């Protein structure tokens, strides 16, 4: 039996060394391949600097994105600029549609590539929409709705979400050539609280509105359900078919996409005068099936 155990130990050790050698060899091949790829393509990369000296209408550029047709769009202090690889063209939204007002500056752009739309945001955080099918600015709502200010926005697959730290959440969707706006608020009983933390999208296309007194799951069709009501929710993240969130008192919850709790940890590491405000879920690089590593980040209360 002793001899058998010794041989078994040697066999396992050899297999471990072989596995380690194969992993190291695979990493070496990947690194060499990436190096060769970079060397082969380094000569083809080129850059060009644009300014007002060679055609750029303004040097104050706040945001850049690219659409499905390859056009480059830039939000600037002088409005929206399109670059086709040769020339710059300026779009002025305030001279095209009634009810749209602004300072002439575009500070942020959200690209809806599925519907060929660009959502543009001004310094006052009002929103404008450009239809890339006809290059016309669209009235996605009434003048009062378009003039409403929201400090934050999140683009998900099915909608654009706008919210302030305190107030309501606005959902803007576009289907069959028509815009639709839906408001989620404490007043219409669709939110458990008016203090909004963020909006996140899960792997099934559901949106999760995170408030300080619970979560709201919104399906792609707009139907909503309140989860963990009256709980002092803080940090939140999604991964695969799970959601992870924390409570102020130091509890971490792992739940499925219906909100059903799978695991609860009541003893999170706490720091004096600090609360968890962000969750990171990391995978193992070489063993993706290995259990996820959940990391927490704290900040002062």
Domain that residue 204 falls in: 192-301
Please report whether residue 270 resides in a domain.
yes
From residue 223, give the alpha-carbon distance in Å to each of 24, 106, 188, 206, 226.
50, 32, 14, 10, 11
DSSP 6: H
- Whether 292 shows a pLDDT value over 90: the answer reads no
Q: What is the DSSP letter of 18?
A: H
**Rounded average pLDDT over 163-173:** 95
Of 149, 182, 203, the last residue of a domain is 149
Q: Give the pLDDT confidence of 250-281 residue by residue, as tens digits.
A: 788 889 999 999 888 876 655 544 445 566 56
Report pLDDT for 23: 62
- Is residue 187 assigned to a domain? no
| CATH number of the domain encompassing residue 276 | 2.130.10.10
Model pLDDT, residue 286:
46
pLDDT number for residue 30: 63
pLDDT band at 109 (very low <50, low <70, confident <90, very high): very high
Is residue 259 one of the residues assigned to a domain? yes
Residue 81 maps to a domain: yes
pTM of the full structure: 0.75
Residue 35 resides in a domain: no
Same domain, 79 and 141: yes
End-to-end Cα spacing for the chain: 61
Confidence band, pLDDT 50/70/90 cuts, at residue 296: low
Do the Cβ atoms of 275 and 296 come closer than 8 Å? no
Q: Quickly state the pLDDT bin for 137 (edges 50, 70, 90).
A: confident
3-state secondary structure of 34: helix
Asked whether residue 113 falls in the same domain as residue 214, the answer is no
The domain that contains 104 carries what CATH number? 2.110.10.10
Q: Do 71 and 129 fall into the same domain?
A: yes
Does the structure show a pLDDT above 90 at 288? no
Residue 145 reports pLDDT greater than 80: yes
Confidence (pLDDT) at 27: 63
Number of domains the chain contains: 2
Same domain, 211 and 300: yes
pLDDT band at 105; cut points 50, 70, 90: confident
The DSSP secondary structure of 55-122, one letter per residue, reads T-S-S-EEEEEE-TTS-EEEEETTEEEEE-SS-EEEE-GGGTSTT----S---EEEEETTTTEEEEE-
pLDDT at 22: 61
Question: pLDDT tens-digit profile of 67-91?
Answer: 988 999 999 988 899 999 888 898 8
In this structure, is the dihedral angle defined by the CA atoms of residues 126, 131, 136 and 142, taken in order, positive or negative?
A: negative
* 173 domain residue, yes or no: no
């Amino acid at each position: 039996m002793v001899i058998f155990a010794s041989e078994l130990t040697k066999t396992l050790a050899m297999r471990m060394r072989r596995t380690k050698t194969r992993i190291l060899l695979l990493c070496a091949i990947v690194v060499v391949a990436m190096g060769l790829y970079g060397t082969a393509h380094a000569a083809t990369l080129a850059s060009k600097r644009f300014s007002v000296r060679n055609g750029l209408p303004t040097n104050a550029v706040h945001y850049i994105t690219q659409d499905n047709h390859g056009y480059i769009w830039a939000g600037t202090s002088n409005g929206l600029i399109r670059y086709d690889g040769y020339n710059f063209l300026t779009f002025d939204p305030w001279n095209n549609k009634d009810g749209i007002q602004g300072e002439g500056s575009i500070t942020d752009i959200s690209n809806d590539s599925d519907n060929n739309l660009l959502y543009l945001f001004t310094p006052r955080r009002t929103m404008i929409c450009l239809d890339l099918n006809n290059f016309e600015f669209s009235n996605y709502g009434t003048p009062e709705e378009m003039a409403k200010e929201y400090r934050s926005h999140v683009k998900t697959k099915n909608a654009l979400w706008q919210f302030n730290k305190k107030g309501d959440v606005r959902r803007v969707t576009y289907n069959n050539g028509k815009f639709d706006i839906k408001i989620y608020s404490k007043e219409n009983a669709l939110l458990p609280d008016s203090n909004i933390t963020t909006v996140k999208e899960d792997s099934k296309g559901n949106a999760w509105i995170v408030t300080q007194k619970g979560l709201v799951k919104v399906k792609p069709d707009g139907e909503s359900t309140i989860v963990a009501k009256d709980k002092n929710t803080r940090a939140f993240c999604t991964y695969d078919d799970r959601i992870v969130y924390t409570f102020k008192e130091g509890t971490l919850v792992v739940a499925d996409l219906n909100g059903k709790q799978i695991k609860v940890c009541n003893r999170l590491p706490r720091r004096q005068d600090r609360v968890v405000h962000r969750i990171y879920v990391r995978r193992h690089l070489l063993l993706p099936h290995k259990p996820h590593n959940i990391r927490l980040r704290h900040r002062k209360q």
